[in-house]
Amino acid sequence: MCGISGLIYRDKTRIDNTILKRMTDKMSHRGPDAEGFYINEDSNLGLGHRRLSIIDTSEAANQPFFFEDKHVLVFNGAIYNYIEIREELEKQGYTFKTNSDTEVLIASYDCWGEECTKKFNGMWAFAIFDSENNKLFCSRDRFGIKPFYYYADHDKFIFASEIKPILEVEKIEKVNVQILLQYLIMNMGDYKDTFFEGITILPASHNLVYDFNTHQFQMYKYYEIEFNKEINKLNLDESIKLFEEKFEESVRLRLRSDVKIGSALSGGLDSPYVTSVANKIIDKKNNRDFTAITVGSLDKRDDESGLAKIISEALKVNHDIVIPKPDEFNEILEDVIFMHEEPFAELSIFMQNFLMKEANKLGIKVFLDGQGADEILLGYSRYTAAFLRNHGWISNIKFLRGVKSHYNISILEAVKIYFYFSNYFIRKMRLQIRGSILKKKYLGVINFVQLKTLAKSYKNIFELQKNEIFYFLLPCILRIEDKNSMLYSIESRLPFLDYQFVETVLSINNNYKIRDGWSKYILRRGLEKFVPDEITYNNRKIGLNAPVEHWWPRSEKIIETINNSKIIQEISKKKFDFIEDRDLEWRLYNIAVWEKLYNMKIEK
């Protein structure tokens, strides 16, 4: 796991190491172990790299990495099946000087060209300078676990793992108004645009090819999730067996590391299942250095540390619990907003931040987490709307009778969710009411097209899940996961997002995911082999809820910060005296602090 950057000047401006070093220094936390640079004067290209050593920690695997005199690579991520690919390449005559996945990646490109990405099981954002074809080949992994930001104008093309390195070359202080309003009123992020006008994101499953002959670039999508009808025909027992086999294979691949490994451990289902399977595999290696970490809450209603302790004792795994205090939160408040580079939706982000901070303190460099499970296993309560739309009356009556167990919501709440999330006009009307805080000209700017697309997809669960994975919820979750983990030089690995596992689960009969009054039923059946039923069949979904009243009590200072924001003064009808919705209050406050930290401005 690393930080990459690149700069191409289309005019006569020359690149030197000074500018490249300024860019990589801005993300030194992503790679504290080594740095490197490459400049090609003929193409006017510069590449920079910061390294976090995970596989083959020797200097021989440092980057930029050269393949003969043909290719130069900067790479952020991990190719988990590099051993199998290496064996395939060796049969074709390739030899290797290191034991790294980096060398396998660049050799794969030499062998298969742009088709190489279809061979990889992993997470990545990389750029390869191909001197023979005079092009730069860039790629981002299938689900966008690793970031790739870029900026392009007539004079230059810049890319990096974070936004700050780009700002070292191109000073951008203009707010992307559409994204700002989308965040504030719709509480939605974006999969391809940022809050900084002109800075864009290479979407998941996309390659970007820059041609030095024409100084033009193009993008194309190389991957799509396919529905497997044969898997959908399997009975319950066959589906459970396949689910468990594929997940164990995913975890096994993600345990390949030359450094210390740990995992998150909540009191829910997702991270406990990851921890259980990982612990089972690691036991076979007699490695007892594996540690699970829990972030507890000062709010006892949301504190999962007690449940996590039951799990750790059942698994006999090393367990560490941290419960952050208000002064600890205040110490990192502005630093976290700065390091995330863009406003984020909830204070729960800080809970995950403390989780990664504790992992770093314990010397853990590879960290397993449960992100992605809710999206592929219909874990969110709003999926009740999709389930109801895709079943008949008899099935729906049975479903509603058990919805209290499914999602810990009442029948009335389930019906409300159905009408709200599956009906575009109802949802749009409610959001427009929320947007009544805005001046008329800004309320009219909000683009509801994405919302309409999402509402339509509730007619087909498979399409809904693909939309959330590629375009809506998951991109925002993964952006936060990456920023929080890399801030503490930790490589976060996500077994639920192995692409082969995702393809399998999305094809499994949905009636096995929600069954007998239980959400994520197929996962629970796997988890019950490891932990007590009080964990496996607990229907309360807590998540990393922050103790808002302890950390961030209402205050005049919060309101004053919001009202002093020039951006908020421009878009809001009036000054605020009291904001009842604390989530909205946080979003406004986050905008105000972000504006100050990055000197952002909005055009009037």
Q: Which of 2, 116, 138, 476 is catalytic?
A: 2
Q: Coil, helix or strand for 366? A: strand
How far apart, in whole angstroms, are the C-alpha atoms of residue 164 and residue 534? 45
Assess contact for 544 and 351: CB atoms under 8 A.
yes
| Among candidate residues 266, 273, 284, the one with its CA nearest the CA of residue 250 | 273
The dihedrals phi and psi of 421, each to the nearest 5 degrees, come to -80, -25
Residue 138 annotated as catalytic: no
CA end-to-end distance (rounded Å), the chain: 41
- Burial profile 517-542: b = 16 or more Cβ within 10 angstroms, e = fewer: bbbbbbbbbbbeebbeeebbebeebb
Cα Dmax for the chain: 71
Which H/E stretch holds residue 109? Answer: helix 101-112
Give the residue carrying structure tokens 């991270």.
271
Strand ranges for 119-198 from DSSP E: 122-130, 135-140, 149-152, 156-160
Residue with tokens 């949905």: 510
Give the span between the Cα atoms of 225 and 223, in whole angstroms: 7
CA distance 333 to 347: 10
CB neighbourhood size of 553 (10 A): 9
Q: Residue 568 to residues 452, 565, 601: CA-CA distances in angstroms?
A: 27, 5, 10
Give CA–CA dist 296/299, Å, rounded: 9
* Catalytic machinery residues: 2
